[in-house]
Structure 1
Amino acid sequence: MNVEQETVPPETAGLRRQTFPTELGPCTVRVQQGAGGPGPASDAADVYLHGAAGSWTTFGALLSVAPARARVLIDLPGWGESTNGAQLEHFSIEAMARAVTGVLNSLGYQRWNLVGHSMGGFLALHIAAAWPERTASVAAISATTFGVSEAARRPMHNLFRFPAFVGLLLVMRAMTVLGPAGSALVRGISATPVMGPLMSPFFADAAAIPGTVIRGLGDEARPASFSAAARAAAGYDFDRWRSIFCPVLAIRGDNDVLTPPTDLSRLAGLVPHLRTVTLPHCGHFAHIESPEQVQSLLDDLRSGHRNAEHSSAEHSSPEDIGRNKDAHGRILPSNRAGRGRVRRRGWPPLPGTRKGR
Structure 2
Amino acid sequence: MSPDTHTPAAMPPMILLHGIGGASWSALRQALAPDPVLDWPLPGYAGSEPLPETSFAALSAALLARLDREGIARTDLLGHSIGGMLALDFALRFPGRVRGLVLYATTPAFGGKDPAFAETFLAERLAPLDAGQDMAQLAEESIRPMLRPGTPEAAVREAVAALAATPEAAYRATVRCLTTFNRRDELPRLAMPVLLIAGEADPLAPPKTMARMQAAIPDARLAVLPGCGHFAHLEDPAGFVAALRDFRQGLAPA
TM-score when normalising by structure 2 = 0.84
Within a 5 Å distance, the mapping from 1:1-357 to structure 2 comes to: 30-35=1-6, 44-55=12-23, 58-82=24-48, 85-87=49-51, 90-146=53-109, 148-150=110-112, 153-155=115-117, 166=121, 170-172=124-126, 175=129, 185-187=134-136, 190=139, 195=140, 198-205=142-149, 208-210=152-154, 212-238=157-183, 239-303=185-249, 305-306=250-251
Q: Any stretches of 5+ residues in structure 2 without a counterpart?
A: none
Distance 1:43 1:169, change over 3 A: farther
Question: What is the rounded CA distance, in whole Å, between the counterparts of 2:198 and 2:151 in structure 1?
Answer: 20
Distance 1:231 1:219, change over 3 A: closer
Q: Is contact 1:91-1:229 (8 Å) kept?
A: yes
- CA displacement 1:3-54 (0-9 Å, x = unmatched): xxxxxxxxxxxxxxxxxxxxxxxxxxx3342317xxx957932111111111
Question: What is the rounded CA distance, in whole Å, between the counterparts of 2:39 and 2:25 in structure 1?
Answer: 9
Q: Is contact 2:16-2:79 (8 Å) kept?
A: yes
- CA displacement 1:135-160 (0-9 Å, x = unmatched): 100112211443x4439954489x8x
Question: What is the rounded CA distance, in whole Å, between the counterparts of 1:41 and 1:152 in structure 2?
Answer: 47
1:247, CA displacement in angstroms? Answer: 0.7
1:234, CA displacement in angstroms? Answer: 2.5
Question: What is the rounded CA distance, in whole Å, between the counterparts of 2:167 and 2:245 in structure 1?
Answer: 32
Q: Is contact 2:16-2:39 (8 Å) kept?
A: yes
Alignment length, in residue pairs? Answer: 250
Distance 1:150 1:201, change over 3 A: farther
Question: What is the rounded CA distance, in whole Å, between the counterparts of 1:136 and 1:268 in structure 2?
Answer: 17
Give the equivalent residue in structure 2 for 1:327.
Answer: none
1:209, CA displacement in angstroms? Answer: 3.4
Question: What is the rounded CA distance, in whole Å, between the counterparts of 2:136 and 2:88 in structure 1?
Answer: 30
TM-score when normalising by structure 1 = 0.62
Distance 1:169 1:123, change over 3 A: farther
For residue 150 of structure 1, what is the amino acid of its counterpart? G
- CA displacement 1:236-265 (0-9 Å, x = unmatched): 331233321111111111111210233213
Q: Is contact 1:200-1:206 (8 Å) kept?
A: no
More helix by share: 2
Q: Any stretches of 5+ residues in structure 1 without a counterpart?
A: 1-29, 160-165, 308-357
Question: What is the rounded CA distance, in whole Å, between the counterparts of 2:95 and 2:159 in structure 1?
Answer: 36
**Equivalent residue of 1:251, what SS?**
strand
1:269, CA displacement in angstroms? Answer: 4.0
- CA displacement 1:169-204 (0-9 Å, x = unmatched): 6243662x68xx86xx222565xxxx2x54232112
CA RMSD of aligned residues (A): 3.0
